[in-house]
Amino acid sequence: MASNDTTPQYDEPTFTQYEGVSGEEDVREALNGNVLRPLSITIGSKQMPKEEFCRHTALEKIQGMPDFIMKALDRLMLAIEVKTKWVLSVDDIVAMYQDNLTTLAAHRAPPISVIDPIKQIYRYMGHNKLQYGVLSTYERTWFFWRPQGNPDVLRISNVVKNTDTNPTLLRSLVYIMSLARHNPDSPSPPASPPPPTDDYEPPDEEDDDGDSTYYPPKGSSSRSGRGGQGGNRGGAGKRG
């Protein structure tokens, strides 16, 4: 899934400087203002049918409430979930996910857990039969892929930071847009629970989220190719 010379070109937008991006609404505003809206205008508006990034309420039949979606007419193509940098404060969420599972297996609470955010975007993708998803704090972004031929496997890219230059966050999203444009669908994984209806709140040490027994299949979160290209180069090996 490496990018190539057919990736659409666009004029670099003018960025707005956001200070103190901390709460989820701040993250949504920064991501939408500096990334999603410019891509809707420069790339999405030139497609037939027109593509755009918008809030999940723009479509009626969405399972769950992802923060943003990519759609073309009434077709859902991509789900995006936003978290604060306090919830996702590490670059390597694949390694942290595996560490979290080990810690939980020892009946201890991990000091930093990425399990619930990963579960959340995985469910949005699974219940809406999507191949691709995005998890972002604006400062850090990861791209998710559920292969059509193996939909209960979840592949996670390397982190792409909003300060990266090769590739940039914009170019990374242009590439994931092109993947979703050509083939957005993947079957729902078997035996999935209902998608979350409320935004994620980290559990405290005495109370988990009541659903901690459900994860993407153990070992299925895997390192893919350079995250800026939205996924896997030549097949990603499972980690664990």
Domains of the chain: 24-229 (3.90.1570)
| Averaged pLDDT for residues 19-30 | 79
Q: Is the pLDDT of residue 17 over 60?
A: no
Question: What are 110-117's contacts with CB under 8 Å, separation 24+?
Answer: 113/202, 114/88, 114/90, 115/212, 115/215, 116/200, 116/202, 116/203, 116/209, 117/81, 117/83, 117/87, 117/88, 117/200
Answer whether residue 55 shows pLDDT above 60. yes
pLDDT value for 15: 47
Which helix (H) or strand (E) element contains residue 29? Answer: helix 24-31
In the predicted structure, residue 234 carries a pLDDT above the cut 50: no
Name the band, by pLDDT with cuts 50, 70 and 90, for residue 132. very high
Predicted confidence band of residue 235 (pLDDT cuts 50, 70, 90)? very low
Average pLDDT over residues 29-57: 93
Task: Answer whether residue 171 shows pLDDT above 70.
Answer: yes
d(CA 222, CA 24): 26
Q: What is the mean pLDDT of the chain?
A: 79
CA dihedral 214, 64, 240, 236 (to 10 degrees): 150
Question: Highest-confidence range of 20-24, 35-39, 193-197, 206-210, by mean pLDDT?
Answer: 35-39
Residues 75-122: tens digit of each pLDDT:
999 999 999 999 999 999 999 999 999 999 999 998 889 999 999 999
Q: Express as a percent the part of the chain with pLDDT over 90.
A: 64
